[in-house]
Structure 1
């Protein structure tokens, strides 16, 4: 059977290579959909994923803090980052275990039977032994190999914890962005509803004037066209609001059609001015951004790995020993069997110094140095990016503050112009086209006012995201 086993193995390999296994060929032509000649008998389907969603209230309006808490509890990204941090903590424990000896329990049983030649005759001898033992191994000296591995594991754990925090920073900003965009969509929907009511009121005025012979049919048609346009804009705003609601639900790990309410924009306090200078914000970002801190921890880990790899140039001193009992049995033809038992032990010290390994250690050190240089380059790049991101975010907040002030003044002016134009039309001084134009200007002003308020909130959140302020004061969590 052993003789044929190589041929069997060769036949299996040949069968896989010729297509009898799972080997596949490339598509035959670039313009045709690839179809396998034989269906693979592999279950490549993913396991059934749990249904997304959890219980939420459809009556109470969720605040931004409550929405963030829901996302942090249920978003899979936090669970992923949490498990990765726990894996790094386990790796630190593995590295620390190298400081302790290894103990193993052994039980060796052996029996043999032979024939020996004595005085021109063969005699059968039977021998058996049973030895329970304890085996100990300990690395006495390694010139920094273990300490380097432990330090690398510590810095990797710190980097994983900081990455965990950065995951929360990003999820918080995702929730805030989706929330403010929903508020913007809701505000535009409300503005569109008001615009439709205004258009319907103007149409009613024109119809009344036409009934009394004070308006013309073209005036009514213009008013009806304005009402139809307002209805179209309302339907568009309704769809945008539904999409924004679904986007926020998705960030919260809820089905897009989940029914829940959020705190309206009117209940939020808008920032009146920037709290600090761009220089102070940049310095704060460089000190507290978790993604930058994680890269710094990776550089520290690379330094520890370099020390660990360089320790391989020095000898290692190892201790090993065994201790236990040995019980033996022996028997020979025509003789009485014998039994014996006693303590056994041995101990040894091994000094090992690798003199030549084909350049492996040199390449390991070179790899560690390259990884350190790469991490340092990432730090330099990210620092430049952070400075630009904070500058852009700061400028956007300043712009949003000015736009908010201008939008408020624009709404006041447009409302006064609309009311004056409508009154003038009722007195016969202005025509219907002037009323429709002022109505459209008012609708546009209201939409810009809503967008300016939402944009101010969004840009303020973006500045806090870029500086790391979103998680600067967050309490520590014991879970994902």
Structure 2
């Protein structure tokens, strides 16, 4: 984008030079055009250096040489299905897919399992034993083999209230796990609602930015034609082109905001797989 703006500035500098030679404009217009062209060249150099620094930082994080090119992400990789744009459907999907919600539900099952284990302590313990022996010499009974079998029943009737205390603690753990699940679900719902709202805002801003770019291009074209016809000053053309540059930068920023908002919604719904940079099929 900075290179495109530089080309525009160079074109206006040539026009100003030609018009100065025929006496159509003052030298001030050429000086202003030259300054704008130099500023645009400086912005191009600054942008290239910033890009190189960003690649170097990324290479350092990846522990690899700076021998790669950065590709623009595919927008389809973060597309959100239309049917899940509804807040209610998005919340339902999030509650089913989010790992923190699944973990909270698992905590309840674990707490219930611990309570059942304590309840089993109220039941008696039944033990069965069996023994079989064989000798090479017969005993007094005249038999060389002998076997025994028995049953043992143990039942703890009084334990000083230990089981009751453990049972109350287990019930408290179940209540705590349920409260954590409700808290996690409310947090998930809030994240989904805010993500859906932010996505709608970002998409609306993107549409506005696209319209601004179209209008700015038309204004820049008309201003250039008017300048070439001598009906407008270079300062007016400069203002129009500055507005066009700002509109283009705003369009890029809003496009990134839309993609980030889609990622945020996908993450909030549990559909985004960060390891594969893609959406998980619902």
Same fold (TM over 0.5): yes
CA distance in 1, matches of 2:130, 2:37: 95
Q: What residue in structure 2 maps to residue 466 of structure 1?
A: 268
Matches within 5 A, 1:260-409: 260-262=69-71, 274-275=82-83, 276-319=85-128, 349-355=151-157, 357=159, 359-409=161-211
Larger relative strand fraction:
1
TM-score after normalising by structure 1: 0.47
Q: What residue in structure 2 maps to residue 74 of structure 1?
A: none
Deviations 1:412-441 (A, max 9, x none): 111111122223223332222222221211
- Aligned-residue Cα RMSD (Å) equals 3.9
Q: What residue in structure 1 maps to residue 141 of structure 2?
A: none
Q: What residue in structure 1 maps to residue 252 of structure 2?
A: 450
Per-residue deviation, 1:344: 8.5
CA distance in 2, matches of 1:286, 1:365: 30
CA distance in 2, matches of 1:468, 1:277: 15
Distance 1:273 1:361, change over 3 A: closer
Equivalent residues of 1:288, 1:468 under 8 A apart: yes
Matches within 5 A, 1:54-453: 191-238=1-48, 241=51, 255=64, 257=66, 259-262=68-71, 274-275=82-83, 276-319=85-128, 349-355=151-157, 357=159, 359-453=161-255
Larger relative helix fraction:
2
Distance 1:439 1:304, change over 3 A: same
Unaligned runs of 5+ in 1: 1-190, 328-341, 476-480
Deviations 1:326-365 (A, max 9, x none): 99xxxxxxxxxxxxxx879776644333455555434433
Deviations 1:104-155 (A, max 9, x none): xxxxxxxxxxxxxxxxxxxxxxxxxxxxxxxxxxxxxxxxxxxxxxxxxxxx
CA distance in 2, matches of 1:382, 1:405: 35
CA distance in 2, matches of 1:429, 1:306: 88
Distance 1:406 1:356, change over 3 A: same
Equivalent residues of 2:78, 2:262 under 8 A apart: no
SS at match of 2:8: helix
The count of aligned residue pairs is: 269
Per-residue deviation, 1:248: 7.5
Distance 1:407 1:377, change over 3 A: same
CA distance in 2, matches of 1:382, 1:244: 37
Per-residue deviation, 1:217: 4.2
TM-score after normalising by structure 2: 0.75
Equivalent residues of 1:195, 1:230 under 8 A apart: yes
CA distance in 2, matches of 1:204, 1:401: 39
